[in-house]
């Protein structure tokens, strides 16, 4: 299994775990959505919180040029530590939700 396939399995495993967690205060469904080329991974939530409709992306990770671009991470502690624990090196993780100017100070890949 090559590096990218390992990354794909790890991302899917992490997002599936978060999708399985129940919500205490809302009637939400969580879904892991994977693009056809398996390079975009989203964790989506939809449902109802009282009378308010809820529909949003909780996590978006893209595999681009061999690196994991975290475009959005709405998890309280983030998934970066889980990716590192899963064997993804820091130089293969781009915190894309930070500007390029800020990224160079994070210890992770700039692009």
What pLDDT, in 10s, does the model give residues 25-81?
A: 888 999 999 999 999 999 999 999 999 999 999 999 999 999 999 999 999 999 999
Phi, psi of 64 (to 5 degrees): -135, 120
Q: What's the whole-model pTM score?
A: 0.93
What torsion do the CA atoms of 90, 94, 97, 102 make, to the nearest 10 degrees? 70
> For position 107, what pLDDT does the model report?
93
Provide the CATH topology of domain 3-103.
TATA-Binding Protein (3.30.310)
Contact of 57 with 44, CB cutoff 8 Å: yes
> What is the pLDDT confidence band of residue 23, given thresholds at 50, 70 and 90?
confident
Q: Report the C-alpha gap between 49 and 54 in whole angstroms.
A: 7
Q: What is the mean pLDDT of residues 70-94?
A: 97
Instruction: Please return the burial class of 102, using the count of CB atoms within 10 Å of its CB with bins 0-12, 13-18 and 19+.
Output: exposed
């Amino acid at each position: 299994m090559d590096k990218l396939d390992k990354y794909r399995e790890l991302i899917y495993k992490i997002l599936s775990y978060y999708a399985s967690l129940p919500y205490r205060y809302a009637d939400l469904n969580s879904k892991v959505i994977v693009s056809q080329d398996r390079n975009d991974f989203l964790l989506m939530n939809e449902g109802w919180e009282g009378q308010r409709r809820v529909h949003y992306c909780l996590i978006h990770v893209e595999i681009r040029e061999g690196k994991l671009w975290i475009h959005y991470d709405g998890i309280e502690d983030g998934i970066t530590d889980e990716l590192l624990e899963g064997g993804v090196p820091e130089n293969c993780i781009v915190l894309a939700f930070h500007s390029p100017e800020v990224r160079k100070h994070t210890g992770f890949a700039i692009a």
